[in-house]
Structure 1
Amino acid sequence: MNSSKPAAALAFFQSNSLPMLVQEEIERLIMTGELAVGTRVNESELAQRFNTSRGPIREALRALEEAGLVRNEKNRGVFVREISFEEADEIYELREALEEIIGRRVARAIAPDGIERLKGMLKAMGSAAKAKDVEQYAQLNLQFHEVLLETAGSQKLIETYKRLIKELLLFRMRALDNGGGLSVSVDEHRDIVDAIASGDAERAGRVMRQHVADSRSRMHTAMGRPDAGSPLSNSSNQQGA
């Protein structure tokens, strides 16, 4: 038996999975703020931190650039990407449309145990909100929407949505903390679960879209910018919704 084949296969797996593992870890550093927005990414420090060569670091950074989390400036290096208010606002507008699609699909597809899982998450979110633990609440919030996304059952939707969410994370944290979102977000998520549990796809879509429109408005407040409001949000206010 040729023992070199398993060894070669293992080496191939390790060399191909390492950049992915490094990418996930660098992404975590960005998402938690340890690598702050606008800061330069030091390849040597990361290579030392992860006990690897700079090759996997470069591969990981190229993937993160494609994902919109870092930018590569010629002759200057790689920096954690900073998103302007205007770009964030455009992403929120796209999210409104995507969340409406997700809400409709989930209302048609979710099983009773899925509803119970969401209710359990609501309870945890309520506890985090009561404790004013913004970071914990933000993580639970992401997990809640990931469950909805998985239930929606569309790979293309998952890929598109996750990229947008990663780009918006820091803005969403500020909206929860400074825009007044923590005090009302649990109720909004409870409305989402109720709408989904009703099985009414159109209602679920509307509630999901309105949730994002309200989050967008809170982002405006957190950033100290005039709230132009989305067409949906303005229409809902006029109707007393």
Structure 2
Amino acid sequence: MIVGGELLPGQQIRQEQMAERFSVSRLPIREALRHLLATGLVTHQYNFGFSVARLNQAEFDQLYLMRDLLESAIIRSLPEAKPRHLERLTELNDAISVAAERADAGAVRQLNKEFHFTMFRDSPLSLVVDEVERIWGWAMPYHAVFVSDSGERSRIITEHAQMVETLGRNDVEGLVQLMMNHRAKSEARLNSLLSPHP
């Protein structure tokens, strides 16, 4: 619900409602919330309870700084891409296109993440990839907002196709640059959502 955008940053999570929704007792809900607290996806305040974590601008800037550094290192460590790997990335991007045509923002988000981590998991830097996945988790509730825009969905698909083509040429530095531009555009869009509006 958090990653899918059903629960938005700052929104309170009521244990009773969650227990009723999932037809379980409050005990597994409390356990899930404790786990989410440890991952940073939720926060807890005395006399208020649990809520979806809300990042401030400085925290968001740090997330993108970490992504810039770590994802660039991952890309530089990638082996030469095999044809089947390139085909899988193309299949995922095609699936994103289908989901985008249906305006299924949830599927776009999940497939977008799968696209990137299918690429990243080819790297021998498995611990770094795991850390990047954790960092992605913190920003996923915000992705729910910006991928609902059709222009953003089209941009993602076009840039993914460029990445696959560049990876197929084994142009590592070209791919690093494409990924940096890809992230920068997403960061700019998310920054506009975080900025206070008059």
Q: Secondary structure at the match of 1:31?
A: coil
What CA distance in whole angstroms lies between the structure 2 residues aligned with 1:58 and 1:131? Answer: 35
Deviations for 1:132-184, whole angstroms, at most 9, x for unmatched residues?
44333222211111212322243322331122112111322333335942232
Q: How far 1:115 sits from its partner (Å)?
A: 0.7
What CA distance in whole angstroms lies between the structure 2 residues aligned with 1:192 and 1:109? Answer: 14
Aligned to 1:134: 105
Mapped contact 2:5–2:145 kept (Cα < 8 A): no
* Higher share in helix: 1
**Corresponding residue to 1:149 among 120, 129, 138:** 120
Root-mean-square deviation (CA, aligned residues, Å) is 2.6
Aligned to 1:43: 15
TM-score (norm 1): 0.70
**Corresponding residue to 1:124 among 71, 90, 95:** 95
Q: How far 1:65 sits from its partner (Å)?
A: 0.7
The unaligned stretches of length 5 or more in structure 1 are 1-28, 226-241
Aligned to 2:84: 113
What CA distance in whole angstroms lies between the structure 1 residues aligned with 2:125 and 2:56? Answer: 29
What CA distance in whole angstroms lies between the structure 1 residues aligned with 2:34 and 2:195? Answer: 34
What CA distance in whole angstroms lies between the structure 1 residues aligned with 2:14 and 2:144? Answer: 25
What CA distance in whole angstroms lies between the structure 1 residues aligned with 2:21 and 2:44? Answer: 21
What CA distance in whole angstroms lies between the structure 2 residues aligned with 1:35 and 1:51? Answer: 18
Go from structure 1 to structure 2 and tell me whether the alpha carbon gap of 1:153 and 1:91 turns closer, same or farther (over 3 Å shift). same
Aligned to 1:90: 62
Mapped contact 2:77–2:123 kept (Cα < 8 A): yes
Q: Secondary structure at the match of 2:44?
A: strand
Q: Tell me which of the two structures has the higher relative contact order, counting C-alpha pairs closer than 8 angstroms and 6 or more residues apart.
A: 2
TM-score (norm 2): 0.83
Matches within 5 A, 1:1-241: 29-106=1-78, 108=79, 110-178=81-149, 180-223=151-194
What CA distance in whole angstroms lies between the structure 1 residues aligned with 2:63 and 2:27? Answer: 32
Q: Secondary structure at the match of 1:72?
A: strand
Q: Secondary structure at the match of 1:30?
A: coil
Go from structure 1 to structure 2 and tell me whether the alpha carbon gap of 1:178 and 1:127 turns closer, same or farther (over 3 Å shift). closer
The unaligned stretches of length 5 or more in structure 2 are none
Largest Rg, 1 or 2: 1
Go from structure 1 to structure 2 and tell me whether the alpha carbon gap of 1:178 and 1:89 turns closer, same or farther (over 3 Å shift). farther
What CA distance in whole angstroms lies between the structure 1 residues aligned with 2:31 and 2:144? Answer: 28
Mapped contact 1:125–1:141 kept (Cα < 8 A): yes
What CA distance in whole angstroms lies between the structure 1 residues aligned with 2:155 and 2:145? Answer: 15
Identity of aligned residues (%): 30
Mapped contact 2:36–2:42 kept (Cα < 8 A): yes
